[in-house]
Amino acid sequence: MGGLAVFTAIKYLVKLNTPSYLCGHFYSSTYMSTAAVIALQKRRTFGIISHPDAGKTTLTEKFLLFGGAIQTAGAVKSNRIKKAATSDFMEIEKQRGISVATSVMGFDYKDYKINILDTPGHKDFAEDTYRTLTAVDSVILVVDCVKGVEDQTRKLMEVCRMRNTPVIVFINKLDREGQDPYDLLEEIEKELNIHTRPLTWPIGIGSDFKGVYNLYEKKLNLFQPDKTKISKEVIKINDLNSEELDGIIGKRSADKLREDAELIEGVYEPFSNDLYLDGYLAPVFFGSAINNFGIQELLDTFIQIAPEPRSRFTEDREVKPEEKTFSGFIFKIHANLDPNHRDRIAFCRIVSGKFERNKFYYHTRLNKKLRFSNPTSFMANDKSVIDEAYPGDVVGLYDNGNFKIGDTLSEGENISFKGIPSFSPEIFKVLENKDPLKTKQLEKGILQLTDEGVAQLFTQQPGNVRIIGTVGELQFEVIQFRLLHEYGASCAFTPLSYQKACWFTSDDKAELDRFNVIKRYNIATDKDGRPVFFAESMWSLKMTQDTFPKINFHFTSEFDK
Ligand code: G4P
């Protein structure tokens, strides 16, 4: 085992294609120890995404069951948030307590450390999901075989495509009367703009569902509905033409499977791991999460093909995970549920090096050194203080207001990770102070809440008008509630008729000045002081773009200047 581990590490180092690795001095001063490289190679950090109700929570839970991290179903409840009615924000408050623990669910599986990052299902929290996707190395997309590709699926996939995140598709609920598998694959390819390659294939569907055939391992997994335990009847079928198959699933199903397998091998290219890693090709699995069916194949293939912790880019350079010095970025901030404790948990994804407890790290935006005495790791439903963590891991850092989403921590290098943008909000309201005696509290509260990423804050002149922009109505209720309960400030909102905000730039200074004057009533600045244009509709935005061709409009906050 030790020999194999060393061999794997050497293979890995050679793969990096840097001759200087072979030079002991350079290696030891710049790159991690062999043991640390092995530790990071064993990490798999991913997110499960789906339209609400496709089965994301169920699949997450089943992964934890298979990994032995939980013993019973029903332990992962954070996604019940999505089921709360829009007005039922108290429920969301309650759920937030649970979702701190379930924001990251780590578990060990076959020698691997797997980190699942939770993404909220409710569409009003879409921005939170988009940001979480910046911290994963790959995703598993769950599609309901009855409903096919749905709205949220499309939006989430757009975000994955922005950074070529590798995607595995799991088609769920095969125990229900769903669509034809070929139609589903075609729909996924067309609607999600990704190539697919089935690795398993269903035999029947709904009441006629008999199991799945693993096209690569040539194994037949027979379906036995069972919600509580992991049951598996796997039969090796080396030759699909054998009569044995007729005996097991019946002649009609056996003939259909033979026909399907032949067609698939004829139509699809062999699966290419490189194309998957490039985000170009998605392997597809079929199963039924609630019945623990098809999960093992998915998980076993996942650990084999899913990427190790990947490099991330700063404005100046690529930071590789095996670099010796620590770096990481904050992708999520969670407020403490207890109003007496204002501290928050900032979730830091480790990009490079080894993170160590009680060591001073450099907060690059604030130009300040910080030390963390209680960094927390999350394993299934447990939290524990950790002494060290590796690339791919997510640590929870207790924070009393130092962090905002996108912040970078390093060991001294002045870097700032890219790829954690704010997205253009779609609902806008003016924030009004209802209690002039609490002006300071309101100001502090709104700055902190927007640092957490609950919403975006814009300021319009004259008059320092505070405009809140969100992707969903629910955030306004959350803001109002939290300002009152955590900061003692009362506020009200006045709706604005804008539908889109975009950042704008231009190389033509005179044109920029002209635009700023003509459109002054539609212009504000974001929290970093960058100008933002508000459009009443997509149509008016288009008109503005046509009228001012020298102005560049940007739909996320990250753009080349
Ligand atoms: P989500 O996180 O993507 O929103 O979906 P979730 O896992 O909560 O699943 C949505 C519903 O679909 C749940 O039913 C769940 O039990 C059901 N489900 C998940 N996988 C399968 C499957 O393979 N087959 C079938 N038939 N159903 C499946 P629910 O009634 O909304 O909730 P619950 O009372 O079962 O918890």
Ligand 1 centroid to Cα of residue 342, in Å, is 36
Same domain, 369 and 277: no
Same domain, 301 and 316: no
Question: 3-class DSSP state for residue 84?
Answer: coil
Ligand 1 centroid to Cα of residue 419, in Å, is 32
Which residues span the domain enclosing 532?
Answer: 427-554
pLDDT of residue 17: 36
Type of residue found at 126 = A
254-275: average pLDDT: 90
The domain that holds 512 is classified in CATH as: 3.30.70.3280
CA distance 211 to 234: 10
Asked if residue 422 belongs to a domain, the reply is no
Interior/surface letters 34-48, b for 16+ CB within 10 angstroms, e for the rest = bebbbbbbbbbbbbb
Same domain, 237 and 99: yes
Q: Is the minimum distance from the CB of 78 to ligand 1 under 6 angstroms?
A: no
CA distance 192 to 51: 13
Dihedral (C-alpha) 314, 560, 139, 475: value to the nearest 10 degrees?
Answer: 110
Same domain, 167 and 277: yes
pLDDT of residue 26: 37
Domain end, chosen from 283, 305, 327, is at 305
Dihedral (C-alpha) 512, 558, 281, 54: value to the nearest 10 degrees?
Answer: -110
Give the DSSP per-residue string, 190-233.
HHHT-EEEESEEEES-GGG--EEEETTTTEEEE----SSS---E
Ligand 1 centroid to Cα of residue 52, in Å, is 9
Ligand 1 centroid to Cα of residue 156, in Å, is 20
Ligand 1 centroid to Cα of residue 92, in Å, is 20
Residue 415: what are its φ and ψ, rounded to 5°?
Answer: -120, 160
Q: Is the minimum distance from the CB of 96 to ligand 1 under 6 angstroms?
A: no
Q: Exposed (0-12), middle (13-18) or buried (19+): which is 33, by Cβ within 10 Å?
A: middle
Question: 3-class DSSP state for residue 469?
Answer: strand
Query: Model confidence at 72, in pLDDT bands (50, 70, 90)?
Result: low
- Whether the per-residue pLDDT at 14 is higher than 70: the answer is no
Asked if residue 444 belongs to a domain, the reply is yes
Beta bridge partners of residue 398, listed in sequence order:
345
Q: Is the minimum distance from the CB of 118 to ligand 1 under 6 angstroms?
A: no
- Whether the per-residue pLDDT at 13 is higher than 60: the answer is no
Q: Is the minimum distance from the CB of 153 to ligand 1 under 6 angstroms?
A: no
pLDDT of residue 391: 96
Domain end, chosen from 254, 286, 305, is at 305
Distance spanning both ends of the chain, measured CA to CA: 51
Same domain, 393 and 432: no
Q: Is the minimum distance from the CB of 57 to ligand 1 under 6 angstroms?
A: yes
Ligand 1 centroid to Cα of residue 404, in Å, is 34
302 contact partners, CB below 8 Å, separation of at least 6: 44, 46, 140, 168
- Whether the per-residue pLDDT at 83 is higher than 60: the answer is no
Angle between helices 89-102 and 474-487 (to 10 degrees): 80
Same domain, 130 and 234: yes
CA distance 236 to 221: 9
Q: Of all atoms in ligand 1, which is nearest to the CA of residue 121?
A: 4
Ligand 1 centroid to Cα of residue 534, in Å, is 39
> Which residue from 102, 290, 292, 295 has its CB within 8 A of the most atoms of ligand 1, so it is best to mutate?
290
pLDDT of residue 6: 37
**Nearest residue by C-alpha to atom 24 in ligand 1:** 173
**Nearest residue by C-alpha to atom 15 in ligand 1:** 55
Ligand 1 centroid to Cα of residue 216, in Å, is 29
Asked if residue 18 belongs to a domain, the reply is no
Distances (CA, A) of 549 to 386, 504, 508, 535, 539: 53, 12, 11, 16, 15
CA distance 325 to 328: 10
Give this prediction's pTM. Answer: 0.82
Placement of tokens 């889109």 in the chain: 500
Residue 537: what are its φ and ψ, rounded to 5°?
Answer: -160, 170
Asked if residue 3 belongs to a domain, the reply is no
> Which residue from 48, 50, 53, 105 has its CB within 8 A of the most atoms of ligand 1, so it is best to mutate?
53
Asked if residue 88 belongs to a domain, the reply is yes
CA distance 214 to 209: 15
- Whether the per-residue pLDDT at 4 is higher than 50: the answer is no
Q: Of all atoms in ligand 1, which is nearest to the CA of residue 52?
A: 4
pLDDT in tens, 456-511: 999 998 888 999 998 888 889 888 988 998 889 999 999 999 998 999 999 999 99
Ligand 1 centroid to Cα of residue 48, in Å, is 14
Q: Is the minimum distance from the CB of 50 to ligand 1 under 6 angstroms?
A: yes
Q: Is the minimum distance from the CB of 320 to ligand 1 under 6 angstroms?
A: no
What order of strands is seen across the sheet that includes strand 491-495?
491-495, 427-433, 465-470, 456-460, 523-525, 531-535, 500-505, 552-554
Q: Is the minimum distance from the CB of 406 to ligand 1 under 6 angstroms?
A: no
Same domain, 372 and 457: no
Q: Is the minimum distance from the CB of 58 to ligand 1 under 6 angstroms?
A: yes
Ligand 1 centroid to Cα of residue 46, in Å, is 21
Asked if residue 9 belongs to a domain, the reply is no
CA distance 561 to 199: 43
Same domain, 201 and 318: no
CA distance 66 to 43: 17
Q: Is the minimum distance from the CB of 172 to ligand 1 under 6 angstroms?
A: yes
What's the total number of domains in the chain?
A: 3
Which is it for strands 138-144 and 394-399: parallel, antiparallel or unpaired? unpaired
More confident residue, 127 or 48: 48
Same domain, 436 and 404: no
Kindly state the tokens that stand for 280: 């170009």
Same domain, 355 and 338: yes
What percentage of the chain's residues is helix, strand, coil (to nearest 5)? 35, 30, 35
Ligand 1 centroid to Cα of residue 144, in Å, is 10
Ligand 1 centroid to Cα of residue 172, in Å, is 10
> Which residue from 49, 56, 57, 58 has its CB within 8 A of the most atoms of ligand 1, so it is best to mutate?
58
pLDDT of residue 94: 54
pLDDT in tens, 293-349: 888 889 999 999 999 999 999 988 999 999 999 999 999 888 765 556 667 889 999
Q: Of all atoms in ligand 1, which is nearest to the CA of residue 293?
A: 23
Asked if residue 419 belongs to a domain, the reply is no
**Nearest residue by C-alpha to atom 6 in ligand 1:** 55
Lowest-confidence segment of 78-92, 187-201, 313-327 by average pLDDT? 78-92
The domain that holds 337 is classified in CATH as: 3.40.50.300
Q: Is the minimum distance from the CB of 121 to ligand 1 under 6 angstroms?
A: yes
CA-closest candidate to residue 270, choices 258, 281, 260: 281
Type of residue found at 169 = V
**Nearest residue by C-alpha to atom 25 in ligand 1:** 173
Asked if residue 417 belongs to a domain, the reply is no
Task: Give the CA angle between residues 92, 93, 94 to the nearest 5°.
Answer: 90
Same domain, 483 and 533: yes
Same domain, 100 and 175: yes
pLDDT of residue 210: 84
